[in-house]
Amino acid sequence: MLNNIHWKKGFKAISQLGSVDSTSIIVEIISSFNGDSREKHMREWANTEAGLRYIKGDRLVYDEYKDKDNTLGQALYELNDGLGDLVPRHIRSTTPREAWGLWNVDTHDISHVITGYGTDGLGEILRAEHAKAYEGTGWAVVRLVVKLRFWAPYFFKNPKLFFMWRKQLKEARVDGKKATPYIYQNWFEYLDRDLDAIRQYQHITPPSLYT
C-alpha cells in the first residue's frame, strides 16, 4: 500500500493547501499519496462492463438527460452548470490505468449527487468520509490534513461548530459502510433513472445533518 508514493511532492502539496487553488492541490495530494493503494480496485473495475467500455474509449455523458426530471443525468448536468455536453462521448482506446483515471474523474460528481454531499469544502470531506473504504490513501491523507489543520483549532475557537462537524463525519462514515461502492456500478445504465430509486438501490440515505 505504501509503494510508489511520492513523499516529497505530496508534503509540498500539503504545505500549500489553503494558500492556493484548493482543487488542484487536493488532486496533487491524492495522486502523490495514493501509491498502489487502489491497484486491487483498478484490476477489479477493469473487468466490469463499464471498465471494458472505458478502456475501449467510451465516456459517461449526460447532456441528453437535462430535461428528464429527477434523473441522475439531469442532476449531473445541473451540478456542472449545464456543461455536460462538453464531455466527449468517445476518445481513443486507452490502457486500463488511463481509463481508470478518467472513470474516477467522471464518477466523482456522481458520488456527490447520489450521496447528497455538495461540492463545497465540507461536502467534499463528508463525501470522502462516506467513501473512505475504497478511495485509497490519497483521500485518507486529505481528510486527515483537513481534520488536523483546519478543524481541530475549532475545538477551542468554536466548540459548537467543531462538534457539529464531528456528528456530520460520523453520519457520513456510518452511512458509507451501508452503501454499495459506487466505483463498480455500470453508470451507463443509470443516467436516465430516478435519482431516489438509485439511492435506494445503492443503500444510500441522504444526510440529515449536512445542509
Whether residue 34 lies inside any domain: the answer is no
pLDDT score at 190: 96
Whether residue 2 lies inside any domain: the answer is no
Whether residue 74 lies inside any domain: the answer is yes
Whether residue 208 lies inside any domain: the answer is no
List the one residue out of 103, 92, 9, 89 whose CA is nearest residue 49: 103
Q: Which residues contact 153 (CB under 8 A, 6 or more apart)?
A: none
Whether residue 206 lies inside any domain: the answer is no
* Residue tagged 431516489 (cell numbers): 196
pLDDT score at 80: 84
Q: How far is CA 193 from the centre of its chain?
A: 20
Whether residue 172 lies inside any domain: the answer is yes
Residue-wise burial string across 159-180, b where 16 or more C-beta atoms lie within 10 A, e elsewhere? eeeeeebeebbebbeebbeebe
Whether residue 13 lies inside any domain: the answer is no
Instruction: Residue count of the chain, please give it.
Output: 211
- ∠ CA 172-178-183 to the nearest 5 degrees? 85
pLDDT score at 37: 84
d(CA 84, CA 190): 16
pLDDT score at 36: 86
Whether residue 6 lies inside any domain: the answer is no
d(CA 14, CA 143): 11
**One pLDDT digit (tens) per residue for the chain, 211 residues:** 567 899 999 999 999 988 766 788 888 999 899 988 888 899 999 999 999 999 999 999 888 899 999 999 999 999 987 555 555 566 677 899 999 999 998 999 999 999 999 998 899 999 999 999 888 899 999 999 999 999 999 999 999 999 999 999 999 999 999 999 999 999 999 999 999 999 999 999 999 999 8
What is the number of domains present in the chain?
Answer: 1
- ∠ CA 179-44-47 to the nearest 5 degrees? 115
Residue 154 sits in which domain range?
39-201
pLDDT score at 211: 80
d(CA 74, CA 51): 23
